[in-house]
Amino acid sequence: MPPRLSGMNTAHPSPIARRVGLALLLLTASATGFMALRYGLPGQPFAPPLMNLVAQRELLVLHAVSAGLALMLGPWQFVTRLREQRPRLHRAIGWAYASCLLVGGLAALPLALQADGGLLAQVGFALLGLLWLASTAVALIHIRARRVAAHRRWMLRSFVLTAGGITLRLQILAGSAFGVPVEAFYTALAWTSWLPQALWLEWWLWRSGPAPAPQPGPAWPDTQLDGR
């Protein structure tokens, strides 16, 4: 790992800040995921006028519902109390998250190839789908091999991409607040909804230091988002 800069503040957020952050994440992820479930309703109420809603309606419904469920399940994987006191429930939620993500990710790839916004948007969404599937697969490989610390790092990578659903909708709401139609910046959304936060996470992991040796053991402190 490159040397840290002299004088860099390497202190981690306080336990209270982590708990507040996790609570906000649970709230926004649950709300966004719940809204995505509307695509499973007849007629997809309040859905934006996307080309894929006509051309590939079944795939879009499958992607939206499964990704919405993954978004609602994902934050619970980072609750230390649940992981330590209810390990079976933690594993069950993890497998449910991975299953939803597999369905949502596989459905996302053909949708990306016909996404609104042209080639640049299609490449952005396709890359997101591939990285989404790959990061989750690597996380599962690590936990099957009992490399707990590496598993948690890759689960963070997986969920930061899942949380692109939150970022995308926040950016759409911001555009609406300023009277900018989503069609005007949909191409940019294919990248700004996930790439900045993915790069931030890589910087945060680098700043936190390398993962401990690959062996089962207690939680790696930098992935305990609730501060315990």
What are the structural domain ranges in the chain?
15-223
**What's the half-sphere exposure (Cβ side, CA atoms, 13 Å) at 219?**
18
- Whose CA is closest to 102, among 138, 133, 135? 133
Q: For the segment 20-31, what is each residue's pLDDT rounded down to a tens digit?
A: 888 888 898 988
- For residue 8, the model assigns a pLDDT of 38
According to DSSP, residue 42 is labeled T
- Region 112-125: what's the mean pLDDT? 90
The Cα–Cα gap between 71 and 36 comes to 10
Smallest CA-to-CA distance from 67 within 10, 132, 9 is with 132
The pTM score is 0.80
Contact 135, 105 (CB under 8 A): no
Tokens of residue 132, six digits: 């989404």
Please report which confidence band the pLDDT of residue 52 belongs to, taking 50, 70 and 90 as the band edges: low
The residue assigned the tokens 């981690």 is 12
Residue 151 has a pLDDT of 93
pLDDT for 114 beyond 90: no
Give residue 110's pLDDT: 92
What pLDDT does residue 216 have? 46
Q: What is the mean pLDDT of residues 188-213?
A: 89
Q: Which range is least confidently modeled, 54-68, 120-134, 151-165?
A: 54-68
Residue 211: per-residue pLDDT: 65
Burial of 154 (0-12, 13-18, 19+ CB in 10 A): buried
Highest mean pLDDT among 30-34, 60-64, 127-131: 127-131
Structure confidence at residue 215 (pLDDT): 52
Q: Please give the mean pLDDT across all residues of the chain.
A: 82
Tell me: pLDDT of 96 over 90: yes
Question: Looking at per-residue confidence, does 37 or 150 come out higher?
Answer: 150
Contact 103, 129 (CB under 8 A): no
What are the distances in angstroms from CA 204 to CA 23, 50, 135, 200, 207?
A: 20, 35, 17, 6, 5
Lowest mean per-residue pLDDT among 36-40, 92-96, 124-128, 218-222: 218-222
pLDDT at 2 over 80: no
